Structure 1
Amino acid sequence: MRGRRWTSVLVCAVTTVVSATACGSSGAADGSGVTGLTIATFNEFGYEDLFKEYEASHPDIKITQRKTGQATPHHQNLFTKLAAGSGLADIEAVEEGYLSQVMSKASQFNDLKEIGPKDVTPDRWLKWKADAATTADGRLIGYGTDIGPLAMCYRKDLFARAGLPSDPEQVKQLFATWDNYFATGDQFVAKVGGVAWFDSAAQIFNTMHNQHEVGYFDRGDTLVVETNPDIRADWNAVTRAVAKGQSAKLPAWSNEWNIGFKLGRFATTACPSWMLGVIETQAGPENEGKWAVTDVFPNGGGNWGGSYLTVPKQGKNAKKAAELAAWLTAPEQQIKAFKAKGTFPSQVEALEDRSLLEQVNTYFGDVHAGALFAAQAQKVKAAQYKGPADGRIQETVFSPALQSVEQGKNADEAWRVAVQEAQKAAR
């Protein structure tokens, strides 16, 4: 999931143009011939100026945005209104962690190949991005917005204290595989007292798990937690590292985790593109130049974060909604969104844009971050299939189970509990 957790209140805005429909699907609400379209998003998509631009070039369209600060309440609202059969926006944003639930209800969403502009085809996006929103029978449920290609971030000063190389090129070998990563972690904790190797077990486990072709469910939606050897191997590797003192035991997004960046409580963290902003904000100006990012991720590429724009069948103006969604996810607009809010684009042409490739992050030592993450995005082999309870199992089963190990619970017992809870969540 995208990691930015701002809070706000869900507001259903009623304007003179869309007064009849702002809290549900929109239509031409008056006699002016103007069509009102609502779009529901969360966090920051960077669309505010784009809405104004679209309205300027489409005087027959009036856009109303419903924006929540966090992904969870947005999706709770989406699924509640989906079940009720009314009340959804014409365009609903869906975060990747909730995409599996949407795909399980694909019949309630329009096929964008059918109602969208005919020149907008799946090859606009990286293949794995488009594949994730494509049903088994070939229906495209969502237009891809941003992504979170993975690299590794680390504290140069702490590496130097441990006698490890600190230059981004030199550290690549330390992060080449997960075996290398955990072996280096053993060296680090042996040399540097009071500082952990990584922030939390769940952060590392989730990125490892998402690299596999098969995750918690197979393509028949059968839960395979207990029988998938990759999941147990990841669990064993992470919990062994915890037992050796490599984890700072700081739950992601907690106050303690935020402070951990500022105080240097851990030396490495899995680093999707959006994490650079999180680190800069939490570590603060006093740590500028201490953090670095390198263009490698253990065992190959990975992705953490990103969303889609969908068009529910509840809407009365599905074709116009699809046209707006297609425009917002065009390469040109995604570059504008990237410049506005740092949302990393998923479109093939956008990833080749000069303004993206030349983007420099001074906090991380003047690294060409745009080019680095564009290259990392190309390393993702395929989108892992997500079953209908996938996100729930990750958030409410495995993350708490790993936290219990960090708090002293036996790893084998915690695994047995996790399997049982996953079975309950999948029912």
Structure 2
Amino acid sequence: MRNRRAGLAKVVACTAVLAAVTAACGSGGSGGASDGKVELTVATFNEFGYEDLFKEYESANPNVKITHRKTGQGNPHHQNLFTKLGAGSGLADIEAVEEGYLSQVMAKSGQFNDLKEIGPSDVRADRWLQWKTDAVTTKDGKLIGYGTDIGPLAMCYRKDLFEAAGLPSDPEGVKALFATWDAYFEAGDKYVKATNKPWFDSAAQIFNPMHNQAKTGYFDRDDKLVIETNDDKKIWSQVTGAVARGQSAKLVAWSPEWQNGFKQSAFATKTCPSWMLGVIEGNAGPELKGKWAVTAAFPGGGGNWGGSYLTVPKQSKNAKEAAKLAAWLTAPEQQIKAFVAKGTFPSQTQALISPELLNKTNDYFGGEKVGLLFAEQANKVSGAQYKGPKDGEIQDNVIAPALQAVEQGKSADEGWQQVVEGAKKAAK
């Protein structure tokens, strides 16, 4: 899923800006700076919390100069990444990749360095949660990215709306409602009956995490489309059935209407990765402080939505120095600093037991110890689902529009046929 934690292609050209940060127009990564220093470019998007870390690294490594290329949103950053991969030049020494685009990057893994070969010898795979590393490991065992943040899933809900519907409202009491997807939809039926109001924001926001929990995704490991034989038809029936029973507010995620829906109490529950807490607070506003709550439960066990990696493209002229910097940025100590700076939830096992993380509370959500809560949720993720090269395209351009069509009146069967036809076309 595309990471929208911060709120939510340009053709390669020889420009003055590019010339300032590369050895020559048309070269891959950066070369040596004019003062003899090794110059490394790092391209990120949204907020990684690296600004102070870059200064710290330069201070400890006076032979290195870091140039940061920061894009406000993830989509243009990745469009630029794929354009420059195709052109064969212009990429930064370190390119951040968000998990929603990872399947496309893995399809081009030959253009990225194997960090097992060029990275520091003391960086071991068990630095990270296993599923985080597995997702960026190629079929032949190459590691093309170091994990940065993650988005472990919990459930957020409106305590006052639950109370008004006669449902349990304290974080422990609601766990039974979120134990399984069947329990979740059953509670939704009770809520709709009691209030005549929607239970969740949109069908796509429910379908996607359900799909990602399945053993097999849209493609098998041979990159064969399996959407007609995996669990997606069952998941489709569950979600569209809930839509038919009035559980969806039918709001398109990230739209102005969806944003206003938090403030207007348009729905009572929200699938809630760690970064969603800030989104809820920003959209719901101060008047709903203490009415939103988060609980250490998620239907079906655990899940992840969001998070990124640092990769070193083969275009880099200083690949080993770049890998050294990427390894340092993703060390547990630095990831805690990034978490404190920007709230990016770490994927490193040692960071997940840090007192600074575990003692982190959130006043908006009733003083809940959110660091501990989401650390527990991160450890519930059972594994990394394999993503085929067109996985993101099917999710964003096939599944989501078909679910929206069902929310607007198309039958579930017609919507599923739209999914199958669209997936086959995308997979060609």
- TM-score norm. by structure 2 comes to 0.96
Residue number among 205, 210, 214 corresponding to 1:203 in the alignment: 205
- SS of the residue 1:52 aligns to: helix
> What residue identity is the alignment partner of 2:425?
K
Query: Matches of 2:249 and 2:136 in 1, distance apart?
Result: 35
> What residue identity is the alignment partner of 1:257?
W
- SS of the residue 2:154 aligns to: strand
1:36-80 CA deviation, whole Å, 9 max, x = no partner?
A: 111111111111111111111111111111111111111111111
Q: Structure 2 matches for 1:128-207, cutoff 5 A?
A: 128-193=131-196, 195-207=197-209
Query: Matches of 2:45 and 2:375 in 1, distance apart?
Result: 24
Residue number among 5, 20, 29 corresponding to 1:25 in the alignment: 29
Residue number in structure 2 paired with 1:39: 42
> What residue identity is the alignment partner of 1:26?
S
> What residue identity is the alignment partner of 1:89?
A
Residue number in structure 2 paired with 1:253: 254
1:357-397 CA deviation, whole Å, 9 max, x = no partner?
A: 00000100100000000000000000000000001110010
Query: Matches of 2:304 and 2:190 in 1, distance apart?
Result: 27
Residue number in structure 2 paired with 1:56: 59
| Superposed displacement of residue 198, structure 1 | 0.1
> What residue identity is the alignment partner of 2:223?
D
> What residue identity is the alignment partner of 1:203?
Q
| Superposed displacement of residue 146, structure 1 | 0.3
Unpaired runs of 5+ residues, structure 2, are none
Q: Report if the CA contact (8 A) 1:10-1:67 is conserved.
A: no
> What residue identity is the alignment partner of 2:287?
E
Residue number in structure 2 paired with 1:419: 420
Query: Matches of 1:373 and 1:151 in 2, distance apart?
Result: 7
> What residue identity is the alignment partner of 1:107?
G
Residue number in structure 2 paired with 1:70: 73
What count of residue pairs does the alignment treat as equivalent?
Answer: 423
| Superposed displacement of residue 137, structure 1 | 1.3
| Superposed displacement of residue 13, structure 1 | 8.3
Q: Report if the CA contact (8 A) 2:22-2:30 is conserved.
A: no
Identity of aligned residues (%): 70
1:120-159 CA deviation, whole Å, 9 max, x = no partner?
A: 0111000000010111111100000000000000000000
Q: What is the root-mean-square deviation in Å for CA atoms of aligned residues?
A: 1.8
Q: Structure 2 matches for 1:224-239, cutoff 5 A?
A: 224-228=226-230, 230-239=231-240
Query: Matches of 1:414 and 1:178 in 2, distance apart?
Result: 21
Residue number in structure 2 paired with 1:214: 216
Q: Report if the CA contact (8 A) 2:360-2:369 is conserved.
A: yes
Q: Structure 2 matches for 1:8-407, cutoff 5 A?
A: 14=17, 18=21, 20=23, 25-30=29-34, 32-193=35-196, 195-228=197-230, 230-407=231-408
Query: Matches of 1:22 and 1:366 in 2, distance apart?
Result: 52
Q: Report if the CA contact (8 A) 2:19-2:25 is conserved.
A: no
1:281-328 CA deviation, whole Å, 9 max, x = no partner?
A: 100000000000000100101000000000000110000000000000
Query: Matches of 1:290 and 1:146 in 2, distance apart?
Result: 28
| Superposed displacement of residue 268, structure 1 | 0.1
| Superposed displacement of residue 17, structure 1 | 7.0
Unpaired runs of 5+ residues, structure 1, are none
| Superposed displacement of residue 16, structure 1 | 9.7
- Structure 1 runs of 4+ aligned residues shifted over 3 Å read 9-24
1:21-49 CA deviation, whole Å, 9 max, x = no partner?
A: 5995101032x221111111111111111
1:310-361 CA deviation, whole Å, 9 max, x = no partner?
A: 0000110000000000000000000000001100000000000000000000
| Superposed displacement of residue 14, structure 1 | 3.8
Q: Report if the CA contact (8 A) 1:393-1:422 is conserved.
A: yes
> What residue identity is the alignment partner of 2:68?
Q
Q: Report if the CA contact (8 A) 2:302-2:378 is conserved.
A: yes
Q: Report if the CA contact (8 A) 2:11-2:83 is conserved.
A: no
Moved more, 53-62 or 369-378: 53-62
> What residue identity is the alignment partner of 1:415?
W
